Amino acid sequence: MPAKQGTASNGLAQGCDLALICGYGSLPLEIARGAIEAGRRPFLIGIEGEASADIAALPHEFLSWGQVGRLFQILRDHQIKEVVFAGGILKRPELLKLKLDFGALRTLPEALVFMIGGDNTVLSGAIRLFEKRGIAVVGAHEIAPKLLAGPGRIVGAKPGARDFASIKLAFEACKALGRFDIGQAAVAEASRVVAVEGVEGTDNLLERIVQMRLIGRMPPKGKNGVLVKTMKPGQDMRADLPAIGPKTIDAVVRAGLNGIAIEAGHAIILEREATLAAAKQAGIYIYGISAADGMPHG
């Protein structure tokens, strides 16, 4: 892990007009590249223990969860008025164990209110925290729109009628699940929903399918099985959009599914070229669900 203070203090950081709050995964760098292509100058603030060391290639600083005061000081120093939440969080911080700076102590009463909720509650609360300080939170899709999935066939054969039956079931399950702020994914196969995503994430959801096949709860060879990922009803698009990437393709293949359906315009494809190439090689489809498919969007 790089030192806490990266290029924040040298000339590379001058003129930065956008901050990315970076969690794990490749999304922060993909958004940063999209921002640079659009003529922006991003400053990356990596969460220690979550963000990849690779963000050190750009102006950056690593901060612990308790350094809220330092975070807002960086934004003030660089006169940055826009931030993006980028990447996932593997482990929520335990507030009682954090080493809080003065800024964190001042915001603690606000943070306690939303930290005990589900993902949507936490993210909405974090957005309010920034907006109250005059910092606009913008979505990844606004900075790097090419990351979003489009409608219809993205790669592979167009799903057939039986595949669409599974897609519809899993889509409805995702939306029902999302109303309780639980998860964004579901798997359907053979005319039934067989698994839904909880707080464990998509990779572990798919691993459960593998285990169910091994113990005989599902047939060894899948039939019209599909992973569906959608945005939660009422979800703020500025944070935590559903995403797939090369690891998702590997997990779907291992789970014996036919393909992946994601909500067009509301889901992200990470490492697009690698993801589509992996899906094509594996013989699975990726499809963007839209209103044209007869499924309502929440």
In terms of Cα–Cα distance, which of 260, 209, 265 is closest to 237? 265
Q: Average per-residue pLDDT in the chain? A: 86
- What does the pLDDT read at residue 119? 57
Does residue 100 carry a pLDDT above 60?
yes
Does residue 229 carry a pLDDT above 90?
yes
Per the model's pLDDT, the better-predicted residue between 93 and 154 turns out to be: 154
Does residue 8 carry a pLDDT above 70?
no
pTM metric for this prediction: 0.84
Contacts of 270 (CB under 8 A, 6+ apart): 25, 26, 27, 30, 147, 243, 244, 245, 246
Does residue 114 carry a pLDDT above 50?
no
- What does the pLDDT read at residue 106? 66
- What does the pLDDT read at residue 138? 94
In terms of Cα–Cα distance, which of 68, 44, 47 is closest to 130? 68
- What does the pLDDT read at residue 65? 82
- What does the pLDDT read at residue 97? 61
Range 2-18 average pLDDT: 57
Does residue 170 carry a pLDDT above 70?
yes
- What does the pLDDT read at residue 11? 43
Range 213-240 average pLDDT: 89
- What does the pLDDT read at residue 185? 96
Does residue 4 carry a pLDDT above 50?
no
pLDDT band at 5 (very low <50, low <70, confident <90, very high): very low
pLDDT band at 231 (very low <50, low <70, confident <90, very high): very high
Does residue 222 carry a pLDDT above 70?
yes
Range 56-83 average pLDDT: 91
- What does the pLDDT read at residue 111? 57
Residues 137 and 157: their CA atoms lie apart, in Å, by: 38
What string of H, E and C letters represents the secondary structure of the chain? CCCCECHHHCHHHCCCCEEEEECECCHHHHHHHHHHHCCCCEEEEEECCCCCHHHHHCCEEEECCCCHHHHHHHHHHCCCCEEEEECECCCCCCHHHCCCCHHHHHHHHHHHHHHCCCHHHHHHHHHHHHHCCCCEECCHHHHCHHHECCCEEEECCCCCHHHHHHHHHHHHHHHHHHCCCCCCEEEEECCEEEEECCCCCHHHHHHHHHHHHHCCCCCCCCCCCEEEECCCCCCCCCCCCCEECHHHHHHHHHCCCCEEEEECCCCEECCHHHHHHHHHHHCCEEEEECHHHCCCCC
Range 38-58 average pLDDT: 94
- What does the pLDDT read at residue 125? 73
Range 166-176 average pLDDT: 94
pLDDT band at 9 (very low <50, low <70, confident <90, very high): very low
pLDDT band at 15 (very low <50, low <70, confident <90, very high): confident
